[in-house]
Structure 1
Amino acid sequence: MKSHAERGRLPGAALALLAAVFVDALGSGLYMSVSVVFLTRYLGLGDGQVGVGLSVAGALSFALLVPTGILADRAGARRTLMAAHLVRAALLTVYPLASGFVPFLCVVSLLAVADRAASPLLQGLFGTAVEGPQRVRAMGRARSLQNLGLALGGLVAGAVLVADSDAVYLGVVYANAVSFVVAAVLVARLRTGADGERSGVRPLPWRERLGVFRDRRFAALTALNSLVSLHVTVLTAGVPLWVLAHPSALPRAVIAWAVVLNTVVVVLFQVRATRATETAADGGRALGLSGMLLAVGCGALATTGALPMPYAVAVLLVAVAFQAFAEMHQQAGAWAISYELAPEDRRQVYLAFFSLGNAARNTYGPLVVTFLVVRQGALGWLLLGALVLGAGAWAARVGRPTAATGITTGTTPAPAAPLTDVQGETHGQRA
């Protein structure tokens, strides 16, 4: 009898996880579109207080990401993800009561920790629920559904914001809380014999659990992936700043068009971009391709400031399309690398460590892109393109077998657990 992988279909556990991803994204998209308005209008916080609170929350979630991975390796990814969803739901339920800065800081910090931990936990569960060749493909489907859910949630939020009232803001916050409860229920239905529930298994010594910090190849690929993933900041910060700096060539509406184009391209093509990307070597090559595509997009953006409006808009949208394909190949490469190189008994701490690169990018990315785009202009786009091109090429080299790269590892990865008996599967920091 053919397995799910041989038939090209995902098992029931992966479908449940995909449903959880979509529900989570739908609620998150709904809330993210009104979060700042909720914090400033309903809670009465100042812009400065919101900014400081989000910065502190981001720093705390960064610091606790690896400890959360260690906890998940001991308690189990399924249990930890369920707890993260339920904690998010509980925090959103009490959010409307956080009327002062200190209560807001406590809630937003705990929410950021749970949010940041959810992504590697979800990836770990996909690694258990899906057989090797299909893991990256399953993550591609999850990302497509995530983008679709965020977009639909944002559209609904835009419609309800027409009624500027406290009841609307409360309804949105509580709807997001309900989405996390539903996601937790879907995750709770998973039943596997190798889903990370390690009760009864003797815990590894701390020195071995923290071996990821001595794994130089994995650390190098984490850093290089972080640089290649600057495509996120290009879309969210670089393009808007560039458009605002060239009003005669680029109308402000093109900022929204760029986001819509990126979302549509990722929803339609993310799964296809994961094909033939399974091993760490494949992942390194995918990062190399991503760097090249983003470099081409940056080069195209450099020309738009000197073009007449119709041509500038067309070239910018073409550049965003290159950015979207760079994003998809970077994601596929990151999944393949982190899956293959993560030892089974330390999978979650390895995935959490790999996620540190994305968290770090959210810190340095806006500074790098702002300096290059705002201060250097067209030359800045070319410099940014050269940076990601070089990082991608280096990642392709490091992704090859260890003997060819000269980079040794601190641990020897074990293969991920195969699928066993199964009964029943985010995008920015939330305010």
Structure 2
Amino acid sequence: FAFSSFPHLVHLNLSFNILFGIIPPQIGNLSNLQYLDLGSNQLSGVIPLEIGHLNQLRILYFDVNQLHGSIPLEIGQLSLINVLALCHNYFVCNLANFYLNNNSLFNSIPLVLGNLNSLSTMDLSQNQFSGSIPLSLGNLSNLDKLYLYSNSFSGSIPSIIGNLKSLLQLDLSENQLIGSIPLSFGNLSSLTLMSLFNNSLSGSLPPILGNLKSLSALGLHINQLSGVIPSSIGNLSSLRALYLYNNGLYSFVPEEIRYLTSLSELELCTNHLSGVIPHSIGNLTGLLLLNMCENHLSGPIPKSFKNLTSVERVLLNQNNLSGKVNVPKLGTFIISVNNISESIPPEIGDSPKLQVLDLSSNNIVGEIPVQLGKLFSLNKLILNLNQLSGGMPLELGSLIELQYLDLSTNKLKSSIPKSIGNLLRLCYLDLSNNQFGHKILVELE
């Protein structure tokens, strides 16, 4: 139909049909239009530039079509718009909510998007945008969610983003951003999520991060950050997830970590952290995941680990830890490639949830405790490359869920117990480089 036939039209909904072809430029003649929904059709081509003539438009749905190309600059002229849905195209998705996520958009973000100062959500994630993050985004004073993740943005993070004091969630992860974390981010006191992971950010962790007392998740992993973990991290009492792994952080784990009592996931692995694991880690009684592997931590495993009654996984492998094996009651405990030199305590049998136990590549001595036979949920037992002696306990035959058993390169002797034949789920068995005698058991044939 001829759009010029409806000069007074304020509401047009043609969604969920089988319309195809292009969006005609004449749509720009509907100068009084406030609501336009062409979503869920088979429209193709580009968004016509004439869309910018619809200066009364509040709501625009072009989602679930086959549109492509760049975002027209004229979108920035729609100063009254508060919902713009362009998602699920080959192109562009939701202004108070602006969603362009999960498309194939490329080139840079049009600077005119900075004119949309009614915006509360901007989601340009999972596209192929490149270039710098435009400074004009700092004008979006009502913005509470900014998602630019999974693109190819480069350059540094504009410090002007620190002016967006209404911001609740900021996700710039999985780009090619460089430079340091702007000090202006300390102004984002309402922020609950900051995700900057998988970029090439460098410099130190600014102490002003301690100002973000509403943060529940902080993801700075897989960058090139260096320096120390600031003591101000202890101010983040609402934090539930802290991910700093795969960086170049060094020095000690700060004692102030004890104040993060809401924390459920703490990942500090693959850095250059040294010193001891602070005893105060036992204050984090809600912790589900503790990952400090691949650092230079030394000293004993704190006795306070026994307070971590909710923890499911502890990964401490590839450090310089020594002393006793203090195993919390959890599902996964990996402390391989350390300097543990004492025996395995019999109390290990008091961890009925344990599914993975890896104590390999240490200097553990003594016998394998019979209490291991009480770990009925265990599916991986890895004790190779130690100094274990004595025989294999008959009780290991009770571990009916066991799929992986490696006792190789120890000083075990005597015969292999027949009870091993009960391990019907076993897929991997390595008993090499020991001193076992007698015939190969029929049960193993």
Higher strand share: 2
Which structure's relative contact order is higher, taking Cα pairs within 8 Å and 6+ residues apart? 1
TM-score by length of 1: 0.17
Which structure has the highest helix share of the two? 1
**TM-score, normalising length from structure 2?**
0.17
Q: Decide which structure has the larger Cα Rg and report it.
A: 2
